[in-house]
Amino acid sequence: MRAKDEFGPEYVLEVFDAKTGMQGVLVIDNTARGAGKGGMRMVPDVTTEEVMGLARAMTWKNALADIPFGGAKAGIKFDPKSPQKEAAIRAFADKVKVFIPHFYIAGPDMNTTEKEMGQFANQIGDMRATTGKPASMGGLPHELGSTGYGVALCIKTAVEFQGKKLNGMTVAIEGFGNVGTFAMKFLSEWGAKVVAVSDSKGVIYDTDGLNYDALMKTKAETGTVTAHGKGKVLPAADLFKLPVDILIPGARPNVITDANVNDVKAKIVAEAANIPMTYEVEKKLMKRGILVLPDFLANAGGVISSYCETMGWDEKKMFATVTEKITNNTKLVMQRAKDHDTRAAALAIAKERVIEGMKRKGWRK
Ligand code: NAD
């Protein structure tokens, strides 16, 4: 198991339910800034060590987002296709109830959706138990696009910080799901020219620029952006080498590696997906003067929206909050980054905020 350090974890709770066979782990890493907030995943082979790492990542992500949450994560070791899925969620809820909502607030993650969040909150008997609930239970739905909006805004803020204009800049986006579609929508509205978009079938590339509404129609009608008609179709992996100003890895982890990092021609790489490359690979881009907007800065719109949900705020207040937080945090990271190392700057800001929170609580001097 990972060792504890000066930040945590505060609690590592392993649970077992004899009736369903469900095994689960809840890691509450650090609550100095507020209740530990992090997704609850259901994966047959989830490990305590993995959940500890993810909980720590949430401590930094929530602190950098500047929302009053600590970091936590939950893993349920269970077959997500089992007819017993709901029983396993409810059993996990019963086992961790004592921590909720003051020490842990759940959210959707791998193989858990608003349906499971609804079951979890219902079993706990407190709507504050989780975010990402159905709208009928006070949830702020995913379909509002807070994460994609945040990605677009982080890029716009960074571009303007560099004294440049987004207008006319070319963009390539990996993935046309929740994050990719909204990132395209807002970047297009703000004058950027999205020339390439990919999904699992490949890339659609049109140097004249792709139209957001037309591409949404193609995706809805055919299931893939590659059926768009206008533009060239390329293999999915070619997206990362296109001659664009801005590249957005927005679907899968580890897509930029030692094998293709030197092919990247973009001047800005905005990480909409989680961990689209390792820090070592990021440093290779940074060394070439490429601006990397790290995942926990660029895709924080989702966690900020979660915070708004716990406050019972509406869509309008949520977008205003995402706007304020993403703009401020992006500017701060840009100001603090030395030698183009935006990840080190972001992590330093997050750590300072957590340490401040711990001092306020009298946990350290
Ligand atoms: P999604 O399931 O809505 O969409 C994923 C998209 O990726 C789909 O369009 C799919 O076709 C595409 N895809 C799959 N394989 C591909 C391939 N080989 N090449 C290109 N595209 C491929 O997922 P999402 O919610 O948009 O999340 C995308 C990423 O963003 C994930 O890494 C997720 O962890 C991260 N993220 C999402 C949120 C959120 O609020 N949705 C928040 C933070 C981080």
352 alpha carbon – ligand 1 mean position (Å): 31
Residue whose Cα lies nearest atom 1 of ligand 1: it is: 177
Query: What residues line ligand 1, using a CB cutoff of 6 Å?
Result: 147, 174-180, 198-200, 236, 250-252, 272-274, 299, 302
The yes-or-no answer to whether 11-57+72-139 and 146-301+331-348 have a common fold is yes
Summarised one tens digit per residue, pLDDT across range 132-178 is 988 888 888 777 899 999 999 999 999 999 999 999 999 999 999 99
236-262 average pLDDT score: 97
Which residue from 261, 252, 344, 255 is spatially nearest to 297, judged by alpha carbons? 344
pLDDT band per the 50, 70, 90 thresholds, residue 3? confident
**Res. 2: pLDDT tops 80:** no
Q: Respond yes or no: is residue 73 known to be catalytic.
A: yes
CATH superfamily of 11-57+72-139: Leucine Dehydrogenase, chain A, domain 1 (3.40.50.10860)
144 alpha carbon – ligand 1 mean position (Å): 15
User: DSSP secondary structure string, 72-129?
Assistant: EEEEEES-TTSTTHHHHHHHHHHHHGGGTTTTEEB-B-TT--HHHHHHHHHHHT-GGG
pLDDT at 226: 98
Q: Which of 73, 77, 85, 185 is catalytic?
A: 73
Three-state DSSP state, 283: helix
Q: Which residue has the tokens 């963009």?
A: 171
Summarised one tens digit per residue, pLDDT across range 187-219 is 999 999 999 999 999 999 999 999 999 999 999
Q: What's the predicted TM-score (pTM) here?
A: 0.94
Q: Which residue has the tokens 């009928």?
A: 136
201 alpha carbon – ligand 1 mean position (Å): 14
Extract long-range pairs of 120-126: CB within 8 Å, 24+ residues apart: 120/40, 120/89, 120/90, 120/92, 120/93, 123/89, 123/90, 123/93, 123/94, 124/93, 124/97, 124/100, 126/100, 126/101
Q: Which CATH class is domain 146-301+331-348?
A: alpha beta
Summarised one tens digit per residue, pLDDT across range 236-245 is 999 999 999 9
Sketch the domain layout of the chain as residue ranges.
11-57+72-139, 146-301+331-348
Peptide bond into 9 cis (omega under 30): yes
Q: What is the DSSP letter of 2?
A: P
Pocket test for ligand 1, best of 178, 185, 198, 225 (most atoms within 8 A of CB): 178
Q: Name residue 341's amino acid.
A: D
Atom nearest to 253 CA in ligand 1: 32
Residue whose Cα lies nearest atom 18 of ligand 1: it is: 200
323 alpha carbon – ligand 1 mean position (Å): 22
User: DSSP secondary structure string, 229-245?
Assistant: SSSEEE-GGGGGGS--S
Atom nearest to 236 CA in ligand 1: 19
Asked whether the beta carbons of 213 and 139 are under 8 A apart, the reply is no
Summarised one tens digit per residue, pLDDT across range 33-92 is 999 999 999 999 999 999 999 999 999 999 999 999 999 999 999 999 999 999 999 999
Pocket test for ligand 1, best of 179, 228, 306 (most atoms within 8 A of CB): 179
pLDDT band per the 50, 70, 90 thresholds, residue 338? confident
221 alpha carbon – ligand 1 mean position (Å): 19
